[in-house]
Structure formats: structure tokens, C-alpha cells
Structure 1
Amino acid sequence: MNRDSQSTPTLSRPEDETPDSIDHPYRWSGRIVASIIDSFMGSLELRWSGGENAREALRTHGNLVVTFWHEWVLPLSFTLKSNGFCALTSRHHDGARLGSALRWLGVEVCHGSSTRGGLRGFQELETLARTGLSPVISVDGPKGPPCIAKEGAAALSRRLQIPMIPLGFAAEKSRRLGTWDRMILPWPGSRAVIVVGEPVMPGDRRRDDAGVTDALGSSLNRATESAHNDFDHLWRQGAGTSPLGESGLTSAGR
């Protein structure tokens, strides 16, 4: 069998391991987290820079792989409130809560981890992407090391033959939490900027993934540095609407 086969995987998941049953204990805590994300992050005065990079990639390829560092998972979860995205979260308690919150925000979620269900979760994410959804990946998750890109996004991009879009984030006022990624929490009402970096194109073969991953990590760092170093200029010149899709809290069926 060709190791670089582009065929769509066949999924088989036990009925007792559906997404709803996995995070059932966190169904309502996920709703609370989603409401907090929606109200807290919705207070940010947010601007987008480099949106033409995403729009051009979407016009050409139909969907793309959205990537970012895990330290910005809370504000960037808010920006992806739409029905156009899919995400992979871990089966750990924290991942289950985040997955439930993302469902309330309108994101399609599948579950996997490095120790259990990882390949199956990756396959399901690929299958969702083949329906036209854009996969969202924190490339140093779920447990780091922080700001060191792993090859999952490059592998998915190669199999789908769609580009990766790096996102960089900066807030005027924020604080870091004591988590493994030193997660950054913007203050309510703060000005914030998201920089959409230039697309990183996929490789053709599995052995290309390491080099593509290095390029993605560098692109993420450039987008983040630009967001910090050029903050005032980018905020004044940036757009107030997301180039990645229409926002809107979706709760039906979640």
C-alpha cells in the first residue's frame, strides 16, 4: 500500500465513543466555557491584518488548515465561531471540556490523543476536511513543548493538498497563566490584533513533512512577532471582520 495514499479513510467508531458520549459529563460546563469565551473575548477591540492571504487561499483551494500556537487557544477559539471549521481535541478532561465548548461555538469536533485514539481522531479530522471544512490545529498541542511545531498539520495538509495558514495574535493588555503553554489571557475590552501570515504549501511526500513543519513554525513566529512589533499600525489599518468565515454563536443541537 502506498504510504502517501490520498484516499479518504473509512471510519468505524463504537457507539459508546461518539463525541457526545465522550464529553457528556462536560456538556454544560462546555456551554459555560463557550459563554465565557463569547462574552469575554467578544469585548476585545479586534482587528485582522493580512486577511488577503486567507481569502486568496480559500478562493483557490476551497478550504485550508488554520494553525496557531496553543498559548492563544482562548481568543482564537472565539474568532472561529462559525460552521466552517473542524478541530481535534484530546480525550483528557481538559480536551473534553474544550471540545464541548467548541461545539457550542459551532465548530465540528473529533477526539484523539497521543496515547489513545490519535490515529482515528486524525482520520476523522481528515474526513471532515474533505467535506469542505477547514481544520484548526494548535501545532504545539496538546502538551508541548510550547512553540515547537509538530508534524501533524503538515501531514494533514499533504494528504488534503491544501495550504496551511499561520495566525499570530497580540493584545494590548493581557496576562499569562501558569499552564504548560503559559496561556495568554487578554484583558476584557483590550485592543487586539490577529495577523494572517502567508500560506505554507504542503509537500508531496511523507518525507517532506519535517521541512514543511519547520517552515510553518518559522511562519507562525513571524506572524506573532509582527503582531507584537507592529501592533499600533496593524490595529489602525486592520479590518474588523474575519477573513476566515462569518461569526455567530451556534447552539442548536450542541
Structure 2
Amino acid sequence: MRKFIRKTRGRLEKTLLDNPRLVAAVTDRLERRIRASHDSIDWIIVGKEALAAELQSGRPVIMVLWHGRLAMAPTGWDNSWGELCIVTSSSRPGKLVGEVMKRFGNSTLAMSSRKSNTTTSLQVARMTRDGTSIGFAIDGSSGPRRVAKSVPIDWARMTGMPIWLYTNSFESYRTLPLWDRMAVPKAGTRGCMLYRRWDAEVPRRLDTETRESLRARLQADLDALTLDADRMMGHAGFIN
């Protein structure tokens, strides 16, 4: 049965997401929904001024978050700070996420999970030299949930850019039946967005042990920030 469901879902994604008109219609609806939800929420925002100050100094950053907190992430970046390139999966759902992000003024870069990403890394290096910041969900595109990939460590080493942690949470929400249990806020609820500069130093030379240690620390620190956000909204633990 599970195999049948996976095959059916794959066929449905291919049928729907290969249709440009349908993708445009879905993107329109998602954009309106995200903007309306954002405007209806009573927000608490912590750390945004510190991030703005670093960006205004002319230094781009790497923004990281968990995939399950993507629903309101498009509203977490102020375009006056400069360009943000969102790294997405090259899958059909990833491309849809990219289309939504473009509606909020971001550029996108597709990254394959099945091929060597040397080309992507070179593109990232060129963009950051031009002052473009990079943002992505570090447990995407298919999990495991809240398990960080090592890519941000590699890119921080390569570019020298600082890593900033981002998360959000909501008092009232629902979770989608997806691998990441994405949290979607209910209209009119309270919400928070938290930004925190990662304080770990990423050396230019990385051995395997140091790389894994930094990856695990990044995962733990993003979890800690996310738990802070959930507790700020009155929850005892993680909401997803």
C-alpha cells in the first residue's frame, strides 16, 4: 500500500507540477495566503536588528532554518538588506517552493541531491562575491527531519561568510502531513521570528572529524533556537 501511495503521489506531482499554468495558479494562491497570514499575526521579532546591521556593513550571510518552518519564511527577509538567493531542491516540489520565493523578491538556485554539487558550490562562491546572501533549509529536501546537512559548513569555509540561524513559531497552528510536519499558522494567532548569529568559527582547513563536529553543533544550536521560539509561544517542546 505504501509503495502504491508513493507511486500515485509521484504521478500526481508530475501531472500537476509540469503544467506551467497550474504552477502559476498554485503559486498565486500560496503567495496570497502567506501574505495574508503574515499580516494577521501578532509578531514578536528578536534579533532582526543585529542581522540588519551586519548586512548593512556590506557582508552577505548564510541563512539556515529547518524545513518544517518554511511556511512563513518568505516574510522573514527584508529586501532592503540586499539580495537573498534561496537554494532549493531540483525536484518538482522544490521548484514550486522556488517559484513562491521569487514572489517575495528572492532569486533561487536548484541543488540536486543525486549529483555532485561542485557546480552549485562554484555558483554560490560567485554570488557571494557579488554580495548575495544564501538561504536554505538545512534538513531538506527530504529529511530526515531536523538533521542538518554539512553543506552550510562547507560553504561557510569556502566563502568566509557568517552563518545566521532563523526560525519561527506560532501559538495556534496546524501541521501538514508531510515528512517535515510543516507548521502552518492559524489566522490571527501570535507568532515569533528569531534570528541568531552562529558563534562557531569555521576554519579554512577542515578534516572529517572537525566537519562532523561543526555539523552536529549547528544542528544542536538551530534546535535550541527553535525550541526557544516554541516555548515563547507557550509550548512545552517542539511543535514539529
TM-score with structure 2 setting the length: 0.78
Residues 140 and 148 in structure 1, CA contact (< 8 A), matched pair in contact too:
yes
Cα deviation code 1:211-231 (max 9, x no counterpart): 221221111111112112234
Counterpart pick for 1:31 among 28, 31, 40: 28
Aligned to 2:232: 230
Aligned to 2:221: 219
1:73-84 to structure 2, matched below 5 A, reads: 73-80=70-77, 82=79, 84=83
TM-score with structure 1 setting the length: 0.74
Aligned to 2:47: 50
Percent identical among aligned pairs is 20
Gaps of 5+ in 1: 1-21, 233-254
Structure 2 SS opposite 1:194: strand
Whole-angstrom distance in 2 between the partners of 1:134 and 1:34: 22
Gaps of 5+ in 2: 1-16, 235-240
- What's the RMSD between the two structures over aligned residues? 2.4
Whole-angstrom distance in 2 between the partners of 1:53 and 1:217: 22
Letter of the 1:206 counterpart: L
Counterpart pick for 1:63 among 60, 65, 86: 60
Letter of the 2:47 counterpart: G
Whole-angstrom distance in 1 between the partners of 2:40 and 2:129: 34
Residues 139 and 145 in structure 2, CA contact (< 8 A), matched pair in contact too:
yes
Structure 2 SS opposite 1:62: coil
Letter of the 1:152 counterpart: V
CA positional deviation for 1:32: 3.2
Residues 176 and 184 in structure 1, CA contact (< 8 A), matched pair in contact too:
yes
Deviating runs (4+, > 4 A) in structure 1? Answer: none
Whole-angstrom distance in 2 between the partners of 1:67 and 1:211: 17
CA positional deviation for 1:121: 3.1
Residues 41 and 187 in structure 2, CA contact (< 8 A), matched pair in contact too:
yes
Taking a change above 3 Å as real, the CA distance of residues 34 and 97 of structure 1, as seen in their structure-2 partners, is same
Whole-angstrom distance in 2 between the partners of 1:195 and 1:128: 26
CA positional deviation for 1:51: 3.1
Whole-angstrom distance in 1 between the partners of 2:122 and 2:48: 29
Residues 169 and 227 in structure 1, CA contact (< 8 A), matched pair in contact too:
yes
Q: Which protein has greater RCO, CA pairs closer than 8 Å, 6+ apart? A: 1
Q: How many residues align?
A: 211
Taking a change above 3 Å as real, the CA distance of residues 117 and 36 of structure 1, as seen in their structure-2 partners, is farther
CA positional deviation for 1:79: 1.8
Of 30-39 and 188-197, more deviation after overlay is shown by 30-39
1:67-216 to structure 2, matched below 5 A, reads: 67-80=64-77, 82=79, 84-116=83-115, 118-200=117-199, 201-207=201-207, 208-216=210-218
CA positional deviation for 1:120: 2.7
Residues 139 and 149 in structure 2, CA contact (< 8 A), matched pair in contact too:
yes
Whole-angstrom distance in 2 between the partners of 1:204 and 1:88: 23
Whole-angstrom distance in 2 between the partners of 1:179 and 1:164: 27
Whole-angstrom distance in 2 between the partners of 1:192 and 1:67: 19
CA positional deviation for 1:186: 0.8
Structure 2 SS opposite 1:158: helix
Whole-angstrom distance in 2 between the partners of 1:41 and 1:73: 13
CA positional deviation for 1:67: 0.7
